[in-house]
Amino acid sequence: MVDPFLATNYNVLEVIFSYLDLRDLRNCALVCWNWYHFLNDESSEVWRMHCLRKLPQEALKSDLLSSVTTYKKRLRAYYHAWNPNDCSRNVYIKPNGFTLHRNPVAQSTDAARGKIGFRQGRHSWEVIWEGPLGTVAVIGISTKEAALQCHGYVALLGSDDQSWGWNLVENMLLHNGDAQGNYPLLNNPPKYQVGERIRVILDCDDNTLSFEKNSEFLGVAFKGLPDKKLYPTVSAVYGNTEVSMVYLGPPLDG
């Protein structure tokens, strides 16, 4: 049986915490064990209210966040989504906050980066190509120095020493303007199908980048990544194609 006094206190905390910003919530979690335990429930009413206030209804009602199982993780994914201020002028971020749309501009390759980059720890996110790939469609990572737009239809991501990408059309790894080999290392690997979820795994401790598809680990794609802040990035050439990105957090394998 729940102590009525504790239940009342929890109800009061729910109301108060639901109006605090995230920085204040982090500080509250350090006050005492009870508050930490209370805020550690990622599916609580507190996190639900924050989700409802911050996330667009279009995102909450779709299956885009189906891989993100708690309210707190959905909120975190939103803060890691595409950056509308760090993308090509030919790209805009849709109202759901997670999907970019490339405008039909001829002879242009266009890219976008996520809002948050990583220099430490292990991170994973899903990329879903929701429109035609065109002749070149690249997913991967880049530093802030990598270009986000160029003339022609090219593999922009991976075209310099500040970006690393996997061209889904040709199953080829790209970096510093050179092809780094076929990927994944399978005989006749299947081509990417529009709508499939690809999981990108960035390990800043081992300085590696890997990919998964359909829950199958495809192997390490890049080793020896630099000690720089690295951002989720994609580049596209096809007009009106759309690409979503959902941050998941540390990989489930630890």
Tokens of 61: 């009602």
pLDDT of the residue at 83: 98
Give the residue ranges of the chain where pLDDT is below 50: 1-8, 254
- Give the model confidence (pLDDT) of 135-187 as tens digits: 999 999 999 999 999 999 999 999 999 999 999 999 999 999 998 999 998 77
Triad 189, 190, 192: Cα angle to 5°: 125
Architecture field, domain 83-249 = Sandwich (2.60)
Q: What local confidence, expressed as pLDDT, does residue 191 receive? A: 84
Count of CA atoms in the C-beta half-sphere (13 A) of 199: 22
The DSSP-derived string for 146-175 is S-SEEESS---TTSSTTEEEEETTTTEEEE
In degrees to the nearest 10, what's the CA dihedral of 245, 82, 192, 147?
-150
- Cross-strand partners of 1: none
Quick one: DSSP state of residue 246? E
Please state the pTM of the whole predicted model: 0.87
